[in-house]
Amino acid sequence: MATTATVTLTSDISSGFGGITKTMTLTKAGTNNDITETTGFSRRKLAAATAVDLITMANELVEPSDNTAAKVYIKNIGNNGVIDKSSYVKILIGATGGTTQEIGRLYGGDWLMMPVTVVDDMDIVAHPETDNAVVLEYTLFFEEA
Amino acid sequence: MATTTAAVTLTSDLLSDNISVTTDTTCMKGGTTADGLDQMDMGYIEIATGDQYDLFDADNALNKNKANKVYISNDSTDETYYVTITIDATVVGRLYAGDWMFIPWGAEDATADIEIEAINGTNKVSYAYFHEGRTLIAS
């Protein structure tokens, strides 16, 4: 029951940069045992420039184990096949309406993969730049508490 | 135009219908559709336990609220080793030995540094940072 993720980075910015390729197998914290839980693959259309929870940690049907080796993947896929590279959705961590910390701006077509604590109120928050419709695809991998 | 691409392949058999995602993106400057990120930093460091360090300093007007991209890899081999990744005072998560992350970084204010702390032993970390510029410090 393995989950793997391979990143490949290429760039011609520097002539000395030969690229990066790395594969990770998602495991439980501090072990070589495969991670066992996922939210599954989801998509959500946003059409307002307001912050919303993409993933609310306290609402997961299977309670995640806090501060372990959870990972989240998110991609901005645009809308109806139109990807706007000049428009973004801010991705933040925290409580919508409360304190949040920005991670960064996910422009059209961009993706991210990062570790998350899955602590309650450390939700994954999305905040589109505009009211124009945009769709995010996402999935969370985690350990059961 | 400089061209930087980031691709990912994600597969999982946790569900009865396997997850299989392959995608890539070209990393553009913030708000543009024709101009790619054109500066980068990369490196490898060994981080001892005991303190939290700035891996990337956000005190840089050239990158504030831009489309910066950050790659961090924990190249340690002991599965119990990990680094905590923090932005400003918010813990983002733990990057265990063998794990990597790739994120956009807003660097929205001077305190939004990406900070790192090694746990359980000296961790080996590789990183790459694609951006629009850095404020150089006069000697």
Domain residue limits at B58: 35-131
Q: Rounded to a whole number, what is the distance in angstroms from the first to the last CA of chain B? A: 31
pTM for this predicted structure: 0.97
CATH code assigned at B96: 2.60.120.10
Q: Give B133 or A31, the one with higher predicted confidence.
A: A31
Question: Is residue B9 in some structural domain?
Answer: no
For residue A92, the domain's CATH number is 2.60.120.1380
Chain A residues in contact with B130 by the CB 8 A cut-off are 11, 13
A73 or B58: which leads in pLDDT: A73
- Test A31 with B79 for CB contact under 8 angstroms: yes
Q: Count up the domains in chain B and report the number.
A: 1
**Range of the structural domain that residue A80 is part of:** 35-142
Q: What ipTM did this prediction achieve?
A: 0.97
Give the mutation candidate from A15, A24, A72, A120 for the B interface (greatest B CB count, under 10 A): A24
Whether A20 maps to a domain, the answer reads: no
A22–B100 CB contact, under 8 Å: yes
| pLDDT, tens digit, 9 for 90 and up, residues B85-131 | 999 999 999 999 999 999 999 999 999 999 999 999 999 999 999 99
Q: How many domains does chain A have?
A: 1
Contact B92 A115 (CB under 8 A): yes
**Residue A22 forms part of a structural domain:** no
Assigned domain for A58 exists: yes
Q: Show the tokens assigned to B17.
A: 């219908």
Q: How many CB atoms lie within 10 A of CB B21?
A: 16
Contact yes or no for B4 and A105 at CB 8 A? no
Tokens 């393995």 — which residue? A2
pLDDT at A1: 67
Is B27 inside any structural domain? no
At A70, list the tokens: 């959870």
Helix, strand, or coil here: B15? coil
Q: Inform me whether the pLDDT recorded for A62 exceeds 90.
A: no
